Structure 1
Amino acid sequence: MESREHHVSEVTFHRWKKQFGQMDPNEAKRLKELERENGELKKMLAEALLKNRVLEAVCEK
């Protein structure tokens, strides 16, 4: 079984195959890069919103 060769469970292997099976390797890599970048942008947005809340709270006092 291919999943054993790659040291992942069969469930994980089939989930990946379903998600990425129709993509070529470059498309899959690009998707992963975009997902990572999206996560970083979400963190940046959350930090900026938090800073704004803190500044608003300080200005109210």
Structure 2
Amino acid sequence: MRGQGGTTAEACRQIAVSEQTYYRWHKEYGGLKTDQARRMKDLERENARLRRPISDLTLDKLILQDAAKENF
């Protein structure tokens, strides 16, 4: 697409994404090779998965602290 002399707008139309999306992707993944970008996305998913239990435990702790204040 772009490597064949086409414009960014034409390439975006062909893959059905907006130019804004293209530029956001380019900013985030522009310097990465395919395997590096895939690894980065895997790490982001794992990070999100690990954050969920921490946020749940933090919320539980706050609820228990609030309940303890009311009892004393």
Q: What TM-score comes out, normalization by structure 1 length?
A: 0.75
What code does the residue aligned with 2:39 have?
R
- Name the SS of the counterpart of 2:35 in structure 1: helix
Distance 1:17 1:52 in 2: 41
Aligned residues with identical type, % of pairs: 33
Runs of 5+ consecutive residues of structure 2 not aligned to the other structure: 1-9
- Considering only CA atoms, is the larger Rg found in Structure 1 or Structure 2? 2
Aligned residues: 61
Q: What TM-score comes out, normalization by structure 2 length?
A: 0.66
Aligned counterpart in structure 2 of residue 36 of structure 1, from 40, 45, 49: 45
TM-superposed CA distance for 1:29, in Å, is 0.8
Is 2:12 the partner of 1:3? Answer: yes
